[in-house]
Amino acid sequence: MVRSRPLPARLAIGLLAAAAALAVAAPSPARLPSAEAAQVTTVKPAPAQPASLSGAAAASDPAFVAQPQPQTVADGGAVTFSVDFPDARLYTWYRTDAEGSVPLPNSNTATYTFTAGYGDNGATYSVKVYDSSFTPHTSDGARLTVTPVAASVAEAPHDTSVQAYQSAQFTVTAGGTGPFTYQWQRRDADGTEWQDIAGATAASHAFKSRPGDDGARFRVVVDNGHGPSTTSTAAVLSVVTGGGTLTPVTHASLEWGVNNIYQGGNPANSGCNFFSAGTQQDFRAEQGDVRIIHRFPDGSAQGISDATKCIPSAGSQLNQRVLFANGTGTANSTTGEATIHWTGAFTANAYSGLVTWYLKNPTLTVAEDGTGTLTATSGGMGADPDTPTEQEPVPARQVTVATFDQVRVDSTTGPDGGVRISPEYAGVDYFPLVDGVRSTTSAIPAEVKKSRPDWGSWPESFVDFQYETGLSSYWHTSGLSGDPDKPPFDLAVRFDSAPDVRNVPVILANPSTTAAAPYVEGRDLTVTADVDGDAELEWQRSASAGGPWSPIADATGESLVIRSIDSSWNNTYLRVVATNDDGQAVSTALRLTTAPYAAPSFPEPPRDLAAIQGTKAVVKFRATGNPALATDKFVLERSDDRGATWKPWSGAEYVQGGTQQFAIPSIPLDADGATARVVAANIEGTTSVSAPFSVRVLRATGGPQLVALPDKPVDPDTATKLTVLGAGFQVPDWASPTLTYSLDVGLFDSTVWQPGRPGTRDWIATSPDSSNGQLYHSRMQDSGGAFTISLTVPAGKLDSGHTYGIGAFLRLTDITTWQDTFDNRSLDAWLPVRLLST
């Protein structure tokens, strides 16, 4: 069914026709719109579909003296459609196929001529004409038949000459109807038969030439399925061997960035995997002929300092490089042969310097066939990633850092010539050393190789070394998310020069302040930086460490004073930009936090303390204030006369860490009944005293002992929270390398467990401070066999006809099978839980 056009559109067409009629009736000749304007402004019905596409033939418009006629033309041939319409004022030709009808550009004439392609086969062409009354008329559709043209060779491959081991390439240009298939063939200089080249099925065929390729002929068979295939004429390859001479190299440079793992920047300079000149752990920008630089998006390089080593040069990337200069040796610019030595070292600092390794005195060797190696002495410090602070030296040794099979000449390396080397990685396997013996099992699992076609590894000796540093699988595919960052970067070598490095200002110290954050609002804040040499300084401000940045008015010195800082500075960032004729250096971003003044106070004061004689007692609390609290000035005080006099608690120590607390290493029995309090202070010396709390010390029995507080009967119908104290539980050492003891504590029905019986997990309740009732070996040893945990007696779970108690017993776990046994009775303990009488 054909739907009628909505009324507004019909009105629009009527108004357009009326306007056209008035224009024709005017005394002066009507000004006709351009074809382009008509196509844009006129509301046009779709042109009539030909019978072959629409399913029904449309009646011809009698106003046409001659309709466009069907055409047949070969692919690539010219075709012309034309009409005769005596009263025509405007033409627009349309092309219609199965996907619809579209107007054709530049078609405002009675004829339309174009070059037909095979994709035009079966399309129809019609024209819409506006007469002098601006009434539209649509012609019949004329079908175009395009016949395919068999494949031909428009341009055959040409003879070429290359230096041995450099890339040779042959290219063909095909004619006829595409798409085309290609099969390159080869015939040796002394051969008589042509052989297909495996995988050479594109319009171009490139390969690494060898001396034996001299005089070989190459041709290509082209086909398109529209006739017989065609074969190009043969092109001859000439391979030049030798040539040139080994000439001395005295000022060669080597620039390298290792890989993408060592490129993550940090705008706050709080940590990154940074390079350093030399073999020491501390950062150095230069040492001897070695310098650390950052590359920028415009291709320039500039020096860095300890203060700027982690600041990205672009986005989040450091683009850091090590630059060796003044390399010596020999090189043949014709054949590519080269042997170059550099003196000096650089250190790569992983985990912000926790795991370090260095490369010293590298040697680049390139053979005439384009293969070669980069070798160096490697050493450093090794550490387990789980315990990176526990480092041991890794013995220095000679390693192969990179191998490559073809050096490509790179004109961007400098006017004095050089090479850019892409180290091998993809497809290189690694078999680790196991107890000094090379394994026959790859370190790259088979399923990873299958899922990651670009899997690979660095050279074997280098990866062996990195396994000793603890960085192991950072240097071969492992199947983890970091794999794309592991392949080596290219090495850039210049034979007789080094790249220019801009000597921008050196920032010796990033912005800092002696005040403690959060900074007290209403007070002046001074921020300083240290910049070496002559430079123009500008302080900048941003809401984000990544910018955008805005200059701070009149802030052009090494010190910035913010008068009466207020909350508008809270969570903002500061940096300083230093500029000289060579460029600019940018400091790290200093984050500012502000808060109103607040004297020290105790939002969570210490609670009453209960402990067993001789155990470590812990007093927890939370104190706040601004300016910052000085925890080294905190004091735990004790009173033995109900608060009349106070003195520091002898032996009490403030425990640094996430929780504010004092520890009394071995609480004495004479502290029972004492009162205690905490004195907090800020960095300015202002103090505040907590509310006093009571101290209860229970006499130790000398063996396994349990105490529950409050020590009163429990209502079985109400959930009751108890504090359970334990002492005297000296958990035995590991029974073997795979058998470890722990202590279980829980609420039991006396019919389920009593001392002397094998332990069980069939408890009624355990403590959330344990692992399902289990207190691990390390925790019990660190505490000297004591613990304090909470345990809630659940409501409605206790039967007044039964007896209950808190029980403790040893558990022995085999960590190879995670099987538990409960046969050791040496630490069995039981504390009855009394129930309220109903």
Residue 408: predicted pLDDT = 60
Assess if CATH 3.40.50.2000 describes domain 598-698. Answer: no
pLDDT tens string 284-332:
999 999 999 999 888 899 999 998 898 887 777 889 999 999 999 998 8
CB 75 within 8 A of CB 146: yes
Q: Where are the domains of the chain?
A: 34-54+62-147, 152-240, 247-494, 506-594, 598-698, 705-833
Q: What is the CATH number of domain 506-594?
A: 2.60.40.10
Residue 385: predicted pLDDT = 61
C-alpha–C-alpha distance, residues 672 and 670, integer Å: 5
Q: What is the CATH number of domain 705-833?
A: 2.60.40
What residues contact residue 105 under an 8 Å CB cut-off, 6+ apart?
Answer: none
pLDDT for residue 37 is more than 70: no
Q: Specify the long-range contacts of residues 778-785, CB closer than 8 Å, at least 24 apart.
A: 780/729, 780/730, 780/731, 780/742, 780/743, 781/731, 783/615, 783/616, 784/615, 784/616, 784/730, 785/726, 785/727, 785/728, 785/729, 785/730, 785/731
What average pLDDT does this structure show over 5-18?
A: 34
Confidence of residue 416 (pLDDT cuts 50, 70, 90): low
Q: What is the CATH number of domain 152-240?
A: 2.60.40.10
Angstrom distances, CA of residue 85 to CA of 45, 58, 65, 79, 112: 19, 18, 6, 20, 14
C-alpha–C-alpha distance, residues 577 and 712, integer Å: 69
What average pLDDT does this structure show over 720-736?
A: 95
* Report for 145-154, 488-497, 654-663: range of highest mean pLDDT: 145-154
pLDDT tens string 328-386:
999 887 887 889 999 999 999 988 778 899 999 999 999 988 899 999 999 999 876 66
pLDDT tens string 215-262:
999 999 999 999 999 999 999 999 999 888 888 999 999 999 999 999
3-state secondary structure 345-361: EEEEEEHHHCEEEEEEE
Q: What is the CA angle 10-12-15, rounded to 5? A: 110
CB 74 within 8 A of CB 127: no
pLDDT tens string 512-567:
999 999 999 999 999 999 999 889 999 999 999 889 999 999 999 999 999 999 99
Residue 424: predicted pLDDT = 97
pLDDT for residue 634 is more than 50: yes
Q: What is the CATH number of domain 34-54+62-147?
A: 2.60.40.10
Residue 354: predicted pLDDT = 81
Which pair of tokens denotes residue 346? 């650089």
Q: Which of 702, 651, 696 is nearest to 672 (CA)?
A: 696
Q: What is the CA angle 201-205-211, rounded to 5? A: 130
